[in-house]
Amino acid sequence: MTITFDEFLNVDIRVGCITRAEPFPEARKPALKLWVDFGGEIGEKRSSAQITKHYVPDELVGRQVLAVVNFPARQIGPVRSEVLVLGVPDENGQVVLIGPDQNVPLGGRLF
């Protein structure tokens, strides 16, 4: 399936900084609860991410990540996930987060 450039632009992918991360023991699959700050226009949003194989909560705070910010929120157990933090699978199918290789302003949009 192909999409047009205009369709791609409908997906709002922004850079945010993880401000808080906690274990999510209630999740069906191992996951972490994340709070991600996208700056003034969007503010702080919550997410659930199945990233426990490569990350522990304390090491995530301060890390910049990319996330889709215009999906509808989803209820995942007791957590309302407001954004989709992006990653790619490693050779074993475990998620590796995507983020800029240099610090950039919060809320910056991927084009």
pLDDT attached to residue 95:
96
pLDDT attached to residue 59:
96
The mean pLDDT of 8-17, rounded to a whole number, is 96
43 φψ region: left (φ > 0), alpha (ψ -120 to 50), beta (else): left
Fold of 12-97: OB fold (Dihydrolipoamide Acetyltransferase, E2P) (2.40.50)
Instruction: Identify the burial level of 72 via C-beta atoms within 10 angstroms of its C-beta, where 0-12 means exposed, 13-18 middle and 19 or more buried.
Output: exposed
Cα separation of 51 and 68, whole Å? 16
pLDDT attached to residue 111:
84
- Which H or E run includes 56? none
The predicted-structure confidence for 48-99, as pLDDT tens digits, reads as follows 999 999 999 999 999 999 999 999 999 998 999 999 999 999 999 999 999 9
Question: Please, are residues 62 and 18 in contact by the beta-carbon 8 Å criterion?
Answer: yes
Domains of the chain by residue range: 12-97
The pTM is what? 0.94
Share of the chain above pLDDT 70, in %: 100
